[in-house]
Chains A and B, each alone.
Chain A
């Protein structure tokens, strides 16, 4: 089946299950629980539908897809503020399956650190993960979070994890690219979240009446929304490009572009939405904050725009003889992927 067709089917399936099982109330309850076992019912449903094994090779019991076929599902994770690291686990399960290591069945986080066997790492979704793959310059390890010290960050699900060497297991050298894959998964979910933030803002300005007409009738408001729409669309397309690069020779640079673009857009979209939704948007009760808080946090995760800009710029200086041809060359990933899946 073509990746696009598969993508459409998975998107529909993800949207259906999340609309029912990942409501704002569920998101709030998982965030409030601050507990590793929170949200397991939702987790089991995603697992039962096969999302979490989507990237695992077919001979290892998965669907053998690339992220290009799951881009829409990742957008849906973001647009429902899924409070669990589903995209990260998809990647982790694939990496572990390829290394011939059985993956724990619960949520698996992805992290970067200075020392692989023991140390301290900042871990997105660390509060709700059972394990993590942590990557350093000298290799990757699988760490059981039950045996680690996990400290939460503010109201988020992210954590600082201190892990002893007895909690970590060295992974083969084939497990690599955790940083760029984590960045890519994050960029795609951010694109979904931005679309939701935009839709909520658009609905609000159409509804809210001031000076005798809806806010959306004011030209200044229209122009601000148009700019937000541009950044949301740009982030979406950059994430599509990034996912198309998955498991091709362009993976790192395509992921870098996706994350740099998403990170650059995040504060613009989040702050722009809050500017238009006014004081209502600042309340805990209004759902906007479920998305904007996470967008700000995700902006730094696995590298901010400065980090990935540096990766892209260095790549362009070291490997390209021409910028335009280099950029066109990244899109070869779409053909490479098409050839591989044919």
Chain B
């Protein structure tokens, strides 16, 4: 790895964003149950996203000329960290803000930028990601969904799956084959922006093991797309999607997925310590300390990666490393808290804590699947180390 992790302070002008965001969230999330907040970036609330947009907090890093904030990656880090730490329901604008907007800003034509970016910044255009397919998961290059050239544009056919927020989204940026056959692998892939209201798009939600239906299967049955649906260059889909995944993996959402549960448990420990009814045992203090230690370390790593982004570098290997370690931490939270609570079976657990623990425990396996499995990420790290 050429670039070792180096911690540095967040610039004061970006850190200054924290106080107003915290104040806003304290008001906006008042009374929302922890088990609901624990859904965080899977929690969909279009009204909430528009409230953020009204404050200029959607598209913070997008260019000012297109309605964005023109701010640095550090500013977005502060904003996103506060949103996640509070368990704000950010899912509606999440994908657009994190990756679709930056992708369009980087590869889009002036017309595409002028059309999509202001809508993204107003939280009027929500996006979903069209990468995985029924037969293409970790092996993303084997996608079979095709866009064939027509007189007026493209004809899209195929299927995407595990698409978060598809029924609520206006657009999907899909990785599709525009030439050749699946055996051509990385060659002949392109990205298209699909208007999900077009005829021939069928969205079938899939219920997950927690009872939510945040992801879907999306079928394209000869969907006619205009020529300007192509984003970036024809045939450059693989490079573009790799850049997009670097945005997806580098943010603080890979360390805060279980934070609402951790906060809820820590609150019960504080309450117990304060009322002195049941003194907090050494084992609980150690478990909390170990979790805090790991969270602080991961935050330092995430700040270091943000610094590299701010310098204009593309820290894909470092981002993969933080994501793998971060999801291990996120998954350890429900495991360790479950054990700590179960160590005192005679002691009742609050409904809020029990519900949150249930939800996080059940959804936690997804943390190391979404955005690239452990095996894929470790392969990327190995590549960064020069082993492959």
Contacts and interface: CB of A to CB of B under 8 A. Distances in A.
Interface stretch (B3-11, B183-191, B197-205): B3-11
B269 A317 contact: yes
30 contacts: A217-B388, A222-B379, A222-B382, A222-B388, A223-B382, A226-B324, A226-B381, A229-B1, A229-B321, A230-B324, A230-B381, A236-B4, A237-B297, A237-B300, A241-B7, A257-B296, A257-B297, A305-B290, A308-B289, A309-B287, A312-B292, A313-B290, A316-B266, A317-B266, A317-B269, A317-B273, A323-B292, A323-B295, A327-B299, A331-B9
Interface stretch (B29-37, B63-71, B278-286): B278-286
Nearest to A216: B387
Contacts of A340: none
B378 A227 contact: yes
A328 interface: yes
A260 B290 contact: yes
Q: From DSSP, what is the main secondary structure of chain B's interface residues?
A: helix
B296 A241 contact: yes
A201 B15 CA distance: 40
A46 interface: no
Q: Is the interface of A mostly helix, strand, loop or mixed?
A: helix
Interface string A67-83: 00000000000000000
B375 A223 contact: yes
A325 B18 CA distance: 10
Interface in A207-222: 216-217, 219, 221-222
B106 interface: no
Interface of A: 4, 202, 205-206, 216-217, 219, 221-223, 225-227, 229-230, 233-234, 236-238, 240-241, 244, 256-257, 260-261, 264, 305-306, 308-318, 320-328, 330-331, 334-335, 338
A313 B8 contact: no
Contacts of A308: 289, 293
Contact of A260 (B287, B289, B298): B289
Contacts of B262: 323
Interface in B268-313: 269-270, 273, 280, 282, 284-290, 292-301, 303-304
A329 B161 CA distance: 41
A240 B7 contact: yes
A219 B263 CA distance: 38
Interface in B227-280: 256, 259, 262-263, 266, 269-270, 273, 280
A308 B296 CA distance: 14
B256 A324 contact: yes
B12 interface: yes
Nearest to A75: B4
A265 B324 CA distance: 15
Contacts of A219: 379
B387 A225 contact: yes
A334 B324 contact: no
Contacts of B379: 219, 222-223, 226
Contact of A312 (B1, B4, B293, B381): B293
Given A217-B388, A229-B385, A317 B285 contact: yes
B325 interface: yes
B7 A237 contact: yes
Nearest to B320: A226
Contacts of A316: 266, 288-289, 292
Contacts of A237: 5, 7, 297, 300-301, 304
Chain A CB count within 10 A is highest, among B15, B270, B284, B386, for B270
User: Sorted from nearest, which 7 A-B pairs have the closest CB atoms?
Assistant: A313-B289, A309-B289, A312-B289, A324-B85, A313-B285, A222-B382, A226-B378
B325 A230 contact: yes
Nearest to B15: A335
B81 interface: yes
A324 B259 contact: yes
B361 to A, nearest CB: 18
A197 to B, nearest CB: 14
Nearest to A236: B5
Given A223-B375, A321-B270, A309 B7 contact: no
Contacts of B269: 317
A241 B303 CA distance: 11
A142 B324 CA distance: 46
B4 A326 contact: no
A327 B303 CA distance: 13
Contacts of B280: 317
B378 A223 contact: yes
A7 B289 CA distance: 30
Nearest to A322: B263
B356 to A, nearest CB: 14
Contacts of A326: 292
Contact of B387 (A217, A305, A320, A327): A217
A219 B388 CA distance: 9
Contact of A240 (B256, B298, B300): B300
Contacts of B85: 322, 324-325, 328
Contacts of A217: 387-388
A232 to B, nearest CB: 10
A261 B290 CA distance: 8
Given A222-B387, A237-B304, A323 B289 contact: no
A302 B7 CA distance: 24
B26 to A, nearest CB: 11
Contacts of B290: 260, 264, 305, 309, 312-313
A313 B284 contact: yes
A306 B289 CA distance: 9
A293 B289 CA distance: 27
B288 A244 contact: no
Nearest to B375: A223
B296 A222 contact: no
